Amino acid sequence: MSEKHVLKESLVVPPCRVACPAGIDVPRYIRRIKEGKFDEALAVIRERIPFPSICGYACFAPCEAGCANRQFGDAIAIRALKRLAAEKGGGLWRDNLTIAASTGKKVAVVGAGPSGLTAAYYLAVLGHRVTVFEALDRAGGMMQGAIPAYRLPREILDSEISDIEDVGVEIRTGQQVDSAKTLLHDGFDSVYIACGLQKGARLGIEGENLDGMLDGLEFLEAVNRGETVAIGNRVAVIGGGNTAVDAARSAVRLGAGDVSIVYRRSAAEMPAWEEEVAAAVEEGVKIQYLTIPTGAVAGNGSLKVTLARMELGKPDAGGRPVPIQVEGSEFVQEFDTVIAAIGQVPAGSEELGVELGKGGYVKADSDTLATDRAGVYAGGDLVTGPASIIDAIAQGRMAAQSIDKYLGGSGVIDQALTTPEKEVVLSDFEPNARARQAMPCRPLDERKSGFDAVELGFTADAAVQEAGRCLNCDARRFEVTLYGDSCKDCSYCAEVCGLDVFAPAETFNAKGYRPMEVRHPERCVGCRLCYYACPDFAIDIIEAA
């Protein structure tokens, strides 16, 4: 078996890293896991985010959607590997972290969610004095209030919030801040608004305020606080996002025996993560697609809800088909509780003292997150709309960079927390479709009876095996040749390639066909699906030296 040594300077940014909003160097930490160097793997992750465990449990893993290994089968289980690194890794990152001397500057952060805490962490490391103001009695934002413990155990969340405090961040809970202007007058040199979206969107139907009609966010917050929530046996959850799925699965755990999700579009348009939807169905949740509620009336200790069937019309501006109510399709179902989880909207943003856009969202520069008020920045869901933990982290990183520059710093927030990678050693390329390691899960009956974590995590051995599936596509190169004179424009190569290596040429060949051409050879991972799909034998692929 031969080896190839690829120098760091020759590495490219792989699709998994492109897909990660925070830009985590995925192949690098996976290589460390493959070698059993979990300390180093964790340090690599920590170079870009302060919440490796939280993301290991609850990130929606856009990196996996971008993973080139999908050309061979399943994506690498990147999120699970991140969790393993956080569990098995030690304090190497902390030993190598340098906290700058005090700059004498004070920064206020409004909101202790993932965006606010991320910004606070990096700004504190840069030497600024950071105070986080959180209206609720516990830090964490939506991670604390909206994500159930079976997806994100509270001890994991609390531990990583403690890491934020350990670098010098002061978190003041139970303190509502209404105006950024007031904070500037109180002596803060800069303010970051990251208070998120704390109000559930209204259904806008008759009977919405009846007893038994609950808001999804308020329901999940009450459950996560350990409060007793009486919901009865028949529960309907309106919506198709992760909050709706979380509410439905939580209702199952509270003892409801007949739980349905009511969603106005089809399964293909449902925005909730596929694996979460599958888990809900496995736990007994039913899903009524192409259905909406149109009204509710009080019954004999229950709610009689009028529902209507929908059909999909033409796409809207975002490309999603518009649901249209089918005339005469109304029917009535009876529920003990109806939980509305159709999205979140801003609440109280008009008091913040910065320019607002449509719907009460804060207007902020897309490159700097600066608002119209000098020294005040804004990010997270209150700017972008409902997003994910990793999107919020990315916004927090951007805010820290911009605020540090505003306060006279360089804006450089990243540090090397482990030895930089000088080269990547590659063994001979062996195309294969090894199966992805299965995530061990708690037995179904145990899952449904409590809020303990469903996913049990990889063992170290399983993680090493899974890491071995990585293609190292930041380092390995292939030379792709397409003979245009032989191509008859069937486009099979483009159809089987999920990495956009091929595209139509601008000119025609001598036979009158518009051939395909190799547009992005650097994206090729050697799966050779195009080679086998081409009926004209017009493609050759070899591994580059």
Say which range, 62-76, 243-257, 305-319, 427-441, has the weakest mean pLDDT.
427-441
What is the chain's length?
A: 545
Q: How far apart are CA 207 and CA 299, in angstroms?
A: 11
* End-to-end C-alpha distance for the chain, whole angstroms: 15
Please give the structure tokens belonging to residue 331: 């029917």
Residue type, 497: C
Nearest to 50 by CA among 129, 164, 147, 158: 164
The count of other CB atoms within 10 Å of the CB of residue 232 is 18
What one-character DSSP code corresponds to residue 212? T
Decide which of 351 and 157 is more confident.
157
pLDDT value at residue 1? 57
| Section 316-329 average pLDDT | 92
| Section 373-383 average pLDDT | 96
pLDDT value at residue 348? 83
CATH class as words, domain 478-543: alpha beta
Q: How far apart are CA 34 and CA 460, in angstroms?
A: 10
| Section 322-327 average pLDDT | 96
> Is 202-342 in the same CATH topology as 100-198+345-407?
yes
The count of other CB atoms within 10 Å of the CB of residue 545 is 6
pLDDT digits (tens, 9 = 90+) for 136-175: 999 999 999 999 999 999 999 999 999 999 999 999 999 9
Q: 370 forms bridges with which residues in the sheet?
A: 377
Residue type, 543: E
Nearest to 291 by CA among 244, 229, 252, 233: 244
Q: How far apart are CA 284 and CA 258, in angstroms?
A: 8
Q: Residue 545's pLDDT band (boundaries 50, 70, 90)?
A: confident
pLDDT value at residue 4? 82
pLDDT digits (tens, 9 = 90+) for 451-495: 999 999 999 999 999 999 999 999 999 999 999 999 999 999 999
**Which CATH number among 3.40.640.10, 2.60.40.2470, 3.50.50.60, 1.10.357.10 corresponds to the domain 202-342?**
3.50.50.60
- 259 in Cβ contact with 266 (< 8 Å): no
Angle at 323 between CA 319 and CA 327, to 5 degrees: 155
Largest CA distance in the chain: 79
Q: How do the domains of the chain map onto residue ranges? A: 4-95+416-468, 100-198+345-407, 202-342, 478-543
pLDDT value at residue 284? 98
- Share above pLDDT 90 across residues of the chain, in percent, rounded to a whole number: 92
Q: Residue 236's pLDDT band (boundaries 50, 70, 90)?
A: very high
Q: Is the pLDDT of residue 205 over 60?
A: yes
Q: How far apart are CA 457 and CA 438, in angstroms?
A: 10
Phi-psi sector, 218: left (phi>0), alpha (psi -120 to 50), beta:
alpha
For 507, counting Cβ atoms within 10 Å of its Cβ (0-12 exposed, 13-18 middle, 19+ buried), the class is exposed
CATH 1.10.1740 fits 4-95+416-468, yes or no: no
pLDDT digits (tens, 9 = 90+) for 31-81: 999 999 999 999 999 999 999 999 999 999 999 999 999 999 999 999 999
Can you say whether the dihedral through the CA atoms of 358, 363, 365, 368 is positive or negative?
negative
Q: Residue 178's pLDDT band (boundaries 50, 70, 90)?
A: confident
Nearest to 20 by CA among 482, 292, 337, 390: 390
The dihedral over CA atoms of 402, 403, 405, 409, expressed in degrees to the nearest 10, equals -140
C-alpha of 515 from chain center: 38
| Section 91-116 average pLDDT | 98
What one-character DSSP code corresponds to residue 544? -
For 180, counting Cβ atoms within 10 Å of its Cβ (0-12 exposed, 13-18 middle, 19+ buried), the class is buried
What average pLDDT does the structure give for the chain?
A: 95
- pTM of structure: 0.94
CATH architecture of structural domain 100-198+345-407: 3-Layer(bba) Sandwich (3.50)
